[in-house]
């Protein structure tokens, strides 16, 4: 196996080749660094490259020659979003403010290291995980367009062959949005499935950790490795690691696929709609039962998540507000942090009451279906600097449009994945979103793998 072959192969095959001596981890990491040097000047996906990445890789090669294995990620270069604390690389959370984040590994990073990963660098993010664009990062498919946010650097790095996978965080769609726009797989498991200690907080009850990867198998593997109880995270689930490998090869027999016709199919680009409808029809042809339904309560979701996100983000930033450090924040982020002060206690309480109501409604839904599917986003990647989009004859702010289909699964803490399902006429990727019941990542992965296998053939 050559390094270029490895950039297209599943991680399990690449790690096996490194352990068997058929591929050098050092050669693979060197190839990733060559790709970074050749293209990251334009893409700007990284804020820091690990100075010892090649040394890490050589140690993996030495271990392989002696018959030792460091784990399922033996010698695999993984990029880390800049809000994950790392012991050997600085963390800035995308801000120019002078905030000293600890030099230590968070829970998810420690699990990646223990599995043998080479941490190749830190990826750029929209400041403090706000925003949908990740400036100045650009989209590998079209460098005049955004990669999405807030994990835009991770999305761009995976697509450009700078690493084999990357970490992200997702509060309203920040894993799935860049994965959709950059044409890769983004997986947000159930709230609490992956521990968040050592990840700079954005909104305590909405934040999820997860991977961006080149294929469903790699994303599932990363979730298996990163998941497990984290005693330092008060929101961590009392659950052990997942094992999603069996779900990758299951067929569609008996699978119940839900399609929520309101909200998720309102005001979207016709090319996105066509690709998604074709994918739903594909699942039906493969043997899945398609169940259509509506959840009218979704119309109130945007106000609820914004109240929760604004107030909880501002609570985290209060010490920086008091110390005057917000002067260094980007204008869009500072405005949002300041706005959180305007959310009243009754506003927050009403939002949480709504979240409980919506959760009850979707528990009823998931009693009758295994997954809910639809478009990840209403649009494909928009141009850098574009502020509005016209959908169905109505002009909308890009910010409002971009997370409309992703944020409900953050409000509910349910697992959701995006997988590519086609391209628009401009060659930009379209994402297909699959959500499941709490802690049923297996059904999500099963469906995503079916889509991937049969849309690629």
Give the residue numbers annotated as catalytic, written as ranges: 81, 150, 174
Which contiguous run of DSSP H or E holds residue 14? helix 11-19
3-state DSSP helix/strand/coil % of the chain, to nearest 5: 45, 15, 40
Strands of 185-188's sheet in order across:
46-49, 118-123, 77-81, 165-170, 208-213, 185-188, 416-423, 429-436, 371-375, 256-260, 289-293
CA distances from 83 to 79, 200, 337, 411 (A): 12, 5, 17, 21
Positive or negative, the CA dihedral 344, 350, 354, 357 is positive
- Structural tokens at position 132: 């949908």
Range 6-42 burial, b when 16+ CB lie within 10 A, else e: bbebbbeebbbbbbeeebbbbbbbbbbbebbeebbee
CA–CA distance, 367 with 355 (Å, rounded to integer): 18
CA–CA distance, 192 with 201 (Å, rounded to integer): 14
Which contiguous run of DSSP H or E holds residue 434? strand 429-436
Which contiguous run of DSSP H or E holds residue 54? helix 53-65
C-beta of residue 82 within 8 angstroms of C-beta of residue 200: no
- For the chain, the straight-line distance linking the first and the last C-alpha, in angstroms and rounded, comes to 23
CA–CA distance, 309 with 291 (Å, rounded to integer): 32
Beta pairing partners, 293: 260
């Amino acid at each position: 196996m050559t390094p270029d072959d490895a950039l297209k192969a599943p991680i399990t095959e690449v790690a096996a080749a490194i352990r068997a001596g058929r591929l050098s981890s050092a050669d693979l990491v060197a190839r990733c660094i060559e790709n970074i040097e050749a293209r990251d000047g334009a893409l700007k996906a990284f804020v820091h490259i690990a100075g010892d990445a090649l040394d890490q890789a050589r140690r993996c090669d030495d271990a392989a020659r002696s018959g030792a294995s460091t784990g399922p990620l033996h010698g695999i270069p993984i990029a880390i979003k800049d809000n994950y604390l790392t012991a050997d690389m600085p963390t800035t959370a995308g801000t120019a403010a002078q905030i000293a984040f600890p030099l230590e590994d968070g829970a998810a990073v420690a699990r990646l290291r223990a599995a043998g990963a080479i941490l190749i660098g830190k990826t750029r993010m929209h400041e403090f995980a706000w925003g949908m664009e990740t400036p100045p990062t650009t989209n590998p498919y079209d460098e005049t367009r955004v990669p999405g946010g807030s994990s835009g650097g991770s999305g761009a790095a995976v697509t450009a062959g700078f690493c084999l996978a990357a970490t992200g965080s997702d509060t309203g769609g920040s894993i799935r949005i860049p994965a959709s726009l950059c044409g890769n797989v983004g997986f947000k498991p159930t709230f609490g499935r992956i521990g968040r200690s050592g990840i700079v907080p954005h909104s305590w009850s909405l934040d999820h950790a997860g991977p961006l990867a080149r294929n469903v198998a790699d994303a599932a593997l990363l979730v298996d490795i990163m998941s497990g109880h984290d005693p330092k995270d008060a929101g961590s689930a009392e659950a052990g690691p997942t094992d999603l490998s069996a779900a990758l090869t299951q067929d569609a027999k008996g699978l119940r696929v839900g399609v929520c016709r309101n909200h998720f199919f309102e005001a979207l680009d016709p090319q996105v709609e066509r690709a998604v409808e074709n994918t739903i029809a594909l699942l039906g042809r493969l043997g899945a039962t398609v169940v259509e339904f509506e959840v009218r309560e979704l119309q109130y979701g945007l106000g609820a998540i914004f109240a929760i996100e604004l107030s909880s983000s501002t609570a985290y930033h209060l010490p920086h507000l008091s110390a005057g450090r917000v002067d260094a924040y980007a204008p869009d982020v500072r405005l949002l942090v300041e706005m959180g002060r305007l959310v009243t206690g009754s506003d927050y309480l009403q939002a949480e009451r709504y979240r409980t109501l919506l959760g009850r409604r979707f528990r009823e839904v998931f009693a009758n279906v295994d997954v809910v599917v639809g478009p990840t986003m209403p649009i494909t990647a928009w141009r850098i600097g574009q502020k509005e989009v016209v959908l169905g004859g109505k002009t909308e702010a890009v910010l409002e449009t971009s997370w409309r289909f992703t944020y409900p699964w953050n409000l509910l803490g349910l697992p959701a994945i995006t997988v590519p399902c086609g391209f628009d006429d401009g060659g930009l990727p379209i994402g297909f979103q699959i959500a499941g019941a709490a802690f049923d990542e297996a059904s999500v992965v099963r469906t995503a793998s079916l889509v991937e296998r049969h849309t690629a053939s």
